[in-house]
Amino acid sequence: MAEITGSASAATKASARLYQRALAVIPGGVDSPVRAFRSVGGDPFFVSRAEGPYLIDADGNRYVDYVQSYGASILGHAIPEVTEAVSAAASRGATYGAPTEGEVLLAEEITSRIPQCEQVRLVSSGTEAMMSLVRLARGATKRDRVVKFAGCYHGHGDALLAAGGSGIATLGLPDSAGVPRGAVQDTLVVPYNQLPVLDETVACVVVEPVAANMGLVPPAPGFLAGLRSACDEVGALLIFDEVITGFRIARGGAAERFGVIPDLWAFGKVIGGGLPLAAFGGKAAVMQHLAPDGPVYQAGTLSGNPLATAAGLAVLGKLDAGAYQRLDATAADLAEGMAEAAEAAGVDVQIPRVGPLLGLFFSDTPIEDYDGARVAASNGRYPRFFHELLSRGVFVAPGAYEAIFPSLAHDEEVRRFSLAAFHGAFAAVAGR
């Protein structure tokens, strides 16, 4: 244990040196706060390369990777079809500022998987997709109010950052310094898995159809259908943030899996194949409010970037019905093995699963909302568990509020190795 938690042992020297240099020139040494090991203790390792289910760090240590760039990678890392598509695209030039066939092909692929999503616009991050959707929903309905659910993450745009933080969030106060009160005064935060009371001031209800940023919290039966009816009653638009669930929990994402059709969607992560790409879309009648056809402005220098569309198309090209079955079976096998390992160690856990998405809570009761997730995430067990797993060569997210992302590359052998590590880590947490 001690040799892993941040002390610069021989095995982490190169990472430690890079981290020291990073701290001098990058705030906190990381370009996204979740990458820091703040909530689990210790210092982050620096990745030098990755292949399939593995990350290899700057010191040559290899980890089975269940983060997969927080879901941006679903096939596994450096899959030949994807790297070949990206290098072929790069050889034709990186970006033009003029439209390309790749954008048309990717938009056609998305809309054919989800026929009710008639049009999409490509952007570069999930944050951008969600910021654009809020503006579009407000512009299209000529209303200002946005309803979101506590514990759901929609990127770091001001209006949606009134997010996950306790009583402050429920009061609609900013969760982050630098977000003016005015930016969130029309954002209403309500508990996940409870139907909100809406009125005709509401432009849109924004939801992760499976909450995957407070651990994994599946929608309660009837929750999504209830949101659909509640929105219809007052003429509000229903927005599914499928940045994680899209093209992951089914060929057509959450809408297909749960049979509830929103007005608008956000996609990201999977569809960029590891490159910066996201999308938002919905009914043509709503999307036509966007410039140049309509008055809602939205733009991007690198939107629909040719390298990113090439990567996205290569990934979606491999995600057929068989791939979804294999992903499902992979996650089911892991969930079962993890539950057995926890039980053998006498540790109470919840391992929610929705298709290929897994969660882990140290709790003896199922988690249904952010309040429950916070209790489970703050009982002190996760940091120890994280380091015990890491020292056994298995990397899960350095924070208790993230999902576990098995990929198509996590084959039988990789899973057996992982489950042995889970056994050891649960036993260590139990003090056995």
Of 34-53, binders to ligand PLP (CB under 6 A) are: none
State which of residues 103, 186, 208, 369 lies at the interface with ligand PLP (CB under 6 A).
208
- Rg over alpha carbons for the chain, rounded to the nearest Å, is 21
Residue 241 engages ligand PLP in binding (rule: CB under 6 A): yes
Complex with ligand PLP: residue 397 or 408, whichever CB lies closer? 397
Q: Does 103 bind ligand PLP (CB under 6 A)?
A: no
Cis-peptide, bond into residue 356, ω within 30° of zero: no
Catalytic residue flag (residue 401)? no
Q: Check binding of 255 to ligand PLP (CB under 6 A).
A: no
Q: Which of 106, 120, 244, 327 binds ligand PLP (CB under 6 A)?
A: 244
Q: Which stretch binds ligand PLP (CB under 6 A): 21-29, 240-248, 255-263, 313-321?
A: 240-248
Query: How many other CB atoms are found less than 10 A from the CB of residue 59?
Result: 18
Can you tell me the distance from the alpha carbon of 398 to that of 29, in angstroms, rounded to the nearest whole number? 15
Choice from 139, 151, 155, 312 touching ligand PLP (CB under 6 A): 155
Residue nearest to ligand PLP (CB): 126
Taking Cα atoms as reference points, which of 271, 267, 263, 254 lies closest to residue 210?
254
d(CA 431, CA 298): 54
Shortest Å, Cβ 57 to ligand PLP: 23
Distance (Å, whole) CA 329 – CA 258: 19
Q: Pattern of binders to ligand PLP over 210-239, x per CB under 6 A?
A: ---x--------------------------
Q: Is 269 known to be catalytic?
A: yes
Write each residue from 276 to 315 as x if it is in contact with ligand PLP (CB under 6 A), else as -, in one continuous string.
--x-------------------------------------
Closer residue to ligand PLP (CB): 154 or 387: 154
If the CB atoms of residues 216 and 421 are measured against ligand PLP, the closer one turns out to be: 216
Residue 370: how many other CB atoms lie within 10 Å? 29
Q: How far is the CB of 275 from ligand PLP (least distance, A)?
A: 11
Single out the residue of 243, 264, 342, 425 in contact with ligand PLP (rule: CB under 6 A): 243
199 is a catalytic site residue: no
Other beta carbons within 10 Å of 321: 9
The DSSP element (H or E) to which 130 belongs, if any, is helix 126-141
* Minimum CB–partner distance for residue 336 and ligand PLP (Å): 26
Q: Give how far Cα 252 sits from Cα of 140, 194, 202, 265, Å.
A: 25, 25, 27, 11
- Catalytic annotation, pick one of 43, 148, 269, 324: 269
CA count, 13 A, side-chain hemisphere, 61:
23
DSSP 57: E
Query: In 3-state terms, what secondary structure has residue 377?
Result: helix
Catalytic residue among 54, 66, 153, 382: 153
What would the DSSP string read from start to end of 226-275?
Answer: HHHHHHHHHTPEEEEEETTTTTTSSTTHHHHHHT---SEEEE-GGGGTTS
Rounded to 10 deg, the angle between the 321-345 and 412-430 helix axes is 30
Which 120-139 positions form the footprint of ligand PLP (CB under 6 A)?
125-127, 130
Q: Which residues bind ligand PLP (CB under 6 A)?
A: 125-127, 130, 153-155, 208, 213, 241, 243-244, 268, 278
Residues known to be catalytic: 153, 241, 269
